[in-house]
């Protein structure tokens, strides 16, 4: 399965390590969607990683993370969207996210900051916005086997039980976590 549905992942999603891991794995073969981001989004991730987390990343680790994400997903980077900034109308500090989505031909933005992307600002561009939890539930409904397989890989690599991974994700995406735990019979 090769899904070519382009989705902009906002910085708040990418800066959440556990959620980011799952989203990026879901974009690896067999991918369920194509991730999109801009240099500006990745700059925001770096700021969050190094300045806003309870356990901040070192600058070196944040730079390494960015380098690896860009190496692993070279097709995700969108450029040349700056000329759209004056015509997008959502929250000013997040206009670059909508402009990047328009330029990349993405029809979805995944973010925790739903209020920064009102429907009235997205409708002219035929773009939707979803909370990460809602998009994960959508992906799970489309292909539960792939989602469970990716979660199982995370658990195995971390030396944890799959249910523990789901419980940890529940801090950010509780309904998705409940769906996974229910599927596991918990």
Q: Which domain holds residue 168?
A: 136-183
* pTM over cut 0.85: yes
Please report the DSSP string for 31-85 in residue order.
-SSEEEB-HHHHHHHHHIIIIISSSPPPHHHHHHHHHHHHHH-GGGB----GGGG
Q: Give yes or no: residues 27 and 43 share one domain.
A: yes
* 39 in any annotated domain: yes
Residue 1 belongs to some domain of the structure:
no
Q: Are residues 34 and 116 in the same domain?
A: yes
Same domain flag for 121 and 140: no
Q: Are residues 38 and 121 in the same domain?
A: yes
113 and 172 share a domain? no
The two three-digit tokens of residue 94, written as one number: 């997040």
Closest C-alpha to 96, from 40, 48, 47: 40
Say whether both 57 and 33 belong to one domain.
yes
| Residues 77-91: b if buried by 16+ CB within 10 A, e if exposed | bbeebeebeeebebe
| Cα–Cα distance measured from residue 147 to residue 111, given in angstroms and rounded to the nearest whole number | 19
Q: What is the pLDDT of residues 12-51, one digit of tens each?
A: 999 999 999 999 999 999 999 999 999 999 999 999 999 9
Percentage of the chain modeled with pLDDT above 90: 97
How do residues 147-186 score in pLDDT, each as one tens digit? 999 999 999 999 999 999 999 999 999 999 999 999 999 7
Give a yes or no: residue 16 inside a domain.
yes
CATH of residue 16's domain is 3.40.50.1010
| 104 assigned to some structural domain | yes
Task: Flag whether 167 is in a domain.
Answer: yes
Q: How many domains does one find in the chain?
A: 2
């Amino acid at each position: 399965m090769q899904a070519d549905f382009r989705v902009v992942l906002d910085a708040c999603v990418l800066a959440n390590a556990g959620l980011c891991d799952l989203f990026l794995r879901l974009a690896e073969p067999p991918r369920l969607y194509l991730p999109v981001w801009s240099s500006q989004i990745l700059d925001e991730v770096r700021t969050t990683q190094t300045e806003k987390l309870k356990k901040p990343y070192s600058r070196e680790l944040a730079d390494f993370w960015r380098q690896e994400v860009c190496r692993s997903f070279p097709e995700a980077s969108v450029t040349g969207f700056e000329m759209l900034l004056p015509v997008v109308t959502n929250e000013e500090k997040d206009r670059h996210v909508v402009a990047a989505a328009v330029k990349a031909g993405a029809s979805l933005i995944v973010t925790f900051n739903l209020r920064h992307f009102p429907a009235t600002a997205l409708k002219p561009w035929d773009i939707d916005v979803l909370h990460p939890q809602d998009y994960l539930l959508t992906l799970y409904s489309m292909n539960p086997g792939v989602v469970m397989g990716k979660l199982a890989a995370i658990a195995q690599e971390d030396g944890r039980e799959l249910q523990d991974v789901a419980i940890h994700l529940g801090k950010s995406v509780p309904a998705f976590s409940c769906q996974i735990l229910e599927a596991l019979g918990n």
